Structure 1
Amino acid sequence: MWPTTVRARATVGACAVVAAALAIASYALLGFLGANLMRNAEDDAERQALTVAQLAADGKLDQVRPPAHGADFVQVVSADGRVLLASPNLAGTQPIRTANPQRPGTLFHTWRVRPLGGEHHQRVVQITTDTPQGLVTVYAGTSLREAEAADDTTTAALAIGGPLLLATVAMVTWWVTGRALGPVEAIRAEVAEITDRDLHRRVPVPPTHDEIARLAQTMNATLDRLESSGARQRQFIADASHELRSPITVLRTQLEVALAVRDPELWPELISGALEDIERLQQLTVDLLLLARIDAAQPAPTVRLDLASLVRDATESRLGDRVPVRTDLAEGIEVLGSELWLTRVVTNLLDNAQRFADGRVDVVLRTTSGPGGRTAVLEVTDDGPGIPPADRERAFERFTRLDDARSRDHGGAGLGLAIARDLTAHHGGTLTAEDPTHSTHSTDFTDSRQGARLVVRLPLAQTD
């Protein structure tokens, strides 16, 4: 039975709140109005009763005048039940009460007094006082006609106005909610029609600058990211297919030549070339799988690592490098991360430096202080041709070769720096290509200021 739409739930909720508030306000209003009118009736009757009681105490009952404005009747009864005085409208009637009080005092009652007839109650004030004839009781009453009429009128008005007010609230809430949710329905309908082939479409943004407008803007931003991600994925697949096609074609050619050649002496050379292409395929496959894992945002286990020790191990484990690597590593630098992934970052940077260096590769590790706190800075510098300033950001794009022919000769697929940057970003750091002339190496460590300079910045692990 509970409504299933936001519009209906909002309407029911608004009506329920208004109904509860209206009920509480009506109850309070009727109570306040009744109490106020009752107090006015008591005051009128009490003034009349006090006046008569004072005359009775002075032995001057014969001077009592007819009830003043606001009082309907007066009756004076002796202790033995005799009516000593009565207003004309109670002439010849029995005492209002048969029980005679035993001591002086004032009491308030609400009765329906028979002699006066009618359907309205009387508010009666009973005052017992001493007189020369003994105890007498003065009864003074005033009609509650106005109080009961006002109560009836107010109740009728609330009974009619309450449902009308609730109906108005329901209609206004239904209309306002419908107007407010109209753009949401338009957004939903547009998103429902967007498929993986229509990611260029965008949802309408209402000109209201409210939460719904911000929702539409966020949805469009999400669609922008999805479209960009889809484009990158398609480009990645195309680039990967292109990169895999070349070694597969060469491998097939070598195997076909080996099959066609009958001279066994040529087979080792052909097989060696095939193995090189297989190794290249294997490395390319590993890189593609790693990129897929990075894109899937699969977290790697993080531990506290000694970055200097990690860089030293990664450098010393490289056997057969074409160019010797010189290191200057500050000790005591600790970061949080994956040892495997950070080692891969260092390895990829060294591979890139070895690929283009003429005769020198320098690795420097230090710390710097900035607005975000202390940071570990790892620099890998070579003395090769360097990276032109206009291409320093493009060098980190996947399958990008700044010198395509030379990169192919050196065996690069254009994934090393892209993988290194993505892995660094997963550790909350950055990887950039910077001007080698701004290097902070000591002059006795670096002989020149040319080549490429790749800088990794990682946040330091918090000290306990």
Structure 2
Amino acid sequence: MRIKWWPASMRASAALTATVACLAVFTLGVIGLREYMVDTVLGSSKTEAELELSRITDAYRAGTSVDISLFGDSMYEVVTDSGETVVRSRTIRRLDPSWPGLPPAPANAPELWETKSALNSPTHPDWRENRTYTVVGAAVSNVPARLVEPLRRTGDLAPTTPSSSTATYRLTVYVFVLPWEAISAETVFNRGLRIVLPLAVIFVAGLAWFVTGRTLRPVEAIRHELAEVSEHNLDRRVPVPRSRDEIAKLARTTNATLDRLEAFHRRQQQFVADASHELRSPLTNLRTGLEVALTHADRADWPEVARESLQDISRLQDLTSDLLMLAVNDNNSTPPAAIVDLAALVQEFRPRVSCVVPPHALMRGNASQLERLLRNLVDNAARHAKSSIVVTVRDSESWVVLEVQDDGPGIAVEDRERVFERFTRLDDARTRNSGGSGLGLTIARGIATRHGGTLTVEDSPTGGLFVARFPH
């Protein structure tokens, strides 16, 4: 079912499809790329936070102080096992003075773990720093009091006035993973994307429009040429592109179809002209004879007039029957595949012809049509034979062969195909009354072809020899 709002033009449809597909692919790709980039930058920031955490914990284990200035704007906190804050970074104090802090590490905590913590500034609620952070932590045991006391300090990790106590502490050190580089990279990426993505979509849409138009240009030429084809100029042909693609194949197939249509149209015109001419002769004879008889009714030999009229009517019937049979032969349908004994069909023509047949010659086909083929060949032979007609049937493994030979003048080599054309009479001296309709051999070949066989004129020492071959 066609979508109502979708363009009917193939060019517009292709361009719109490419645009939608490009937009979808680019959007999904951009989202994936952005997520990958942000994750990569956040991973780098996390690595830096873990490095800072390692330096702090290593200093506590070694009993030395750490120069916090090396960490820049790092956000960190150190708490005791009782939950009291040892030291907190100035950045955290500035962002959220009322931040409750993080709990100490549990006794069974791993060497390094992650948690989440949110900062919310009561005085600046719109700050971008008001967010949930990833925090990495680690526990350190046996830290001397001189590096811990006094508690609740801000800024420097080491106290300015160290305690003289000999006590030791178990501390938990937390370092925040800062997302600022990831946020900055994402902002730059989104800003560039607002420019690049529309340009990319426009480029793809324009390219699809141009390529589709160029591709369909031969189709439009074919359509335009076909629109000019009519029954009066079937000789026109569509242009064939120099490319070897499907459109070139379409053009060649179209021209081949036009060739067949033109040939069929010519045959049809010739057939109509010939049929009209053939029908006109007996009708003219019939009308002329009756008009003359009526003009001289008192002197007309009415029985003779009736006999001549019957002859003309009989010829009209034969011609009409042949035309109908020819129309059936022009139909490409396959005849019923019944078993027919060709030898028995030939025997029915005794004693009119001499028969040389085996006991049986079985083949698949239509008995009435095969009988018509045989009768047409015998009638044709009778018109040319001097004294005898011989019909021979031979049965081999692959073919059933039917031969009809007369002892007449024969058929010249150059005329052996022309005799099968419609309304062809080789003997111009013969009258139409004795020459038949000129369709018998055409009908016979059509029947042979529809049975998957052939009908040809072959060499013979005397007279004409017609040979039909049928597959089993």
The reply to whether TM is greater than 0.5 is yes
Q: Deviations over 1:151-180 (max 9, x none)?
A: 122222223222211111111111111122
Q: Residue 108 in 1 paired to residue 114 in 2?
A: yes
Alignment partners' CA distance in 2, 1:17 and 1:429: 56
Q: Deviations over 1:270-308 (max 9, x none)?
A: 32222122111100011112223333x2636512222xx
Q: Residue 431 in 1 paired to residue 455 in 2?
A: yes
Alpha-carbon spacing, 1:398–1:330, altered in 2? closer, same or farther (3 Å): farther
Q: Residue 305 in 1 paired to residue 339 in 2?
A: yes
Give 1:341's aligned amino acid: Q
Alignment partners' CA distance in 2, 1:387 and 1:282: 28
Q: Pairwise CA RMSD of aligned residues?
A: 2.9
Per the alignment, residue 194 of structure 1 pairs with: 229
Q: Residue 43 in 1 paired to residue 47 in 2?
A: yes
Give 1:38's aligned amino acid: L
Shift of 1:72: 1.9
Structure 1 stretches lacking a partner, 5+ long: 437-448
Among 383, 387, 391, the residue aligned to 1:363:
391
Alignment partners' CA distance in 2, 1:213 and 1:333: 48
Q: Is 1:330–1:366's contact at 8 Å kept on the other side of the alignment?
A: no
Among 402, 420, 426, the residue aligned to 2:444:
420
Per the alignment, residue 184 of structure 1 pairs with: 219
Q: Residue 327 in 1 paired to residue 356 in 2?
A: yes
Per the alignment, residue 125 of structure 1 pairs with: 136
Alignment partners' CA distance in 2, 1:148 and 1:407: 106
Structure 2 stretches lacking a partner, 5+ long: 144-167
Shift of 1:378: 2.3
Q: Is 1:44–1:70's contact at 8 Å kept on the other side of the alignment?
A: no
Q: Deviations over 1:286-338 (max 9, x none)?
A: 1112223333x2636512222xx24522x3444773xx231324735322x33
Give the 3-state SS of the residue equivalent to 2:333 in structure 1. Answer: coil
Shift of 1:361: 2.4
Per the alignment, residue 66 of structure 1 pairs with: 68
Equivalent residues, number:
433
Alignment partners' CA distance in 1, 2:193 and 2:471: 69
Per the alignment, residue 162 of structure 2 pairs with: none
Alignment partners' CA distance in 1, 2:244 and 2:184: 53
Tell me which moved more, 9-18 or 74-83. 74-83
Q: Is 1:71–1:141's contact at 8 Å kept on the other side of the alignment?
A: no
Give 1:302's aligned amino acid: P
Among 371, 379, 386, the residue aligned to 1:351:
379
Shift of 1:80: 1.8
Rg larger in structure: 2
Alignment partners' CA distance in 2, 1:147 and 1:223: 68
Q: Deviations over 1:195-239 (max 9, x none)?
A: 221222222333334322332232222222222222211211111
Alignment partners' CA distance in 2, 1:454 and 1:147: 94
Among 420, 439, 446, the residue aligned to 1:396:
420
Per the alignment, residue 77 of structure 2 pairs with: 75
Tell me which moved more, 278-287 or 199-208. 199-208
Give the 3-state SS of the residue equivalent to 2:106 in structure 1. Answer: coil
Per the alignment, residue 452 of structure 1 pairs with: 464
Shift of 1:398: 0.3
Q: Deviations over 1:228-276 (max 9, x none)?
A: 2222112111111211122222222333444435468x43333222212
Per the alignment, residue 443 of structure 1 pairs with: none
Give 1:455's aligned amino acid: V
Alignment partners' CA distance in 2, 1:388 and 1:68: 115
TM-score, normalised via structure 2 length? 0.82
Give the 3-state SS of the residue equivalent to 1:406 in structure 2. Answer: coil
Shift of 1:3: 0.8
Per the alignment, residue 159 of structure 2 pairs with: none
Give 1:326's aligned amino acid: C
Give 1:173's aligned amino acid: A
Alpha-carbon spacing, 1:392–1:245, altered in 2? closer, same or farther (3 Å): same
Matches within 5 A, 1:204-219: 204-219=239-254
Alignment partners' CA distance in 2, 1:16 and 1:94: 51
Q: Residue 16 in 1 paired to residue 20 in 2?
A: yes
Alpha-carbon spacing, 1:75–1:303, altered in 2? closer, same or farther (3 Å): same
Alignment partners' CA distance in 1, 2:70 and 2:369: 103
Per the alignment, residue 268 of structure 1 pairs with: 303
Per the alignment, residue 434 of structure 2 pairs with: 410
Per the alignment, residue 442 of structure 1 pairs with: none
Tell me which moved more, 269-278 or 2-11. 269-278
Per the alignment, residue 160 of structure 2 pairs with: none
TM-score, normalised via structure 1 length? 0.84
Give the 3-state SS of the residue equivalent to 1:41 in structure 2. Answer: helix
Alignment partners' CA distance in 1, 2:192 and 2:358: 89
Per the alignment, residue 156 of structure 2 pairs with: none
Shift of 1:86: 4.7
Per the alignment, residue 143 of structure 1 pairs with: 178
Alignment partners' CA distance in 2, 1:51 and 1:151: 29
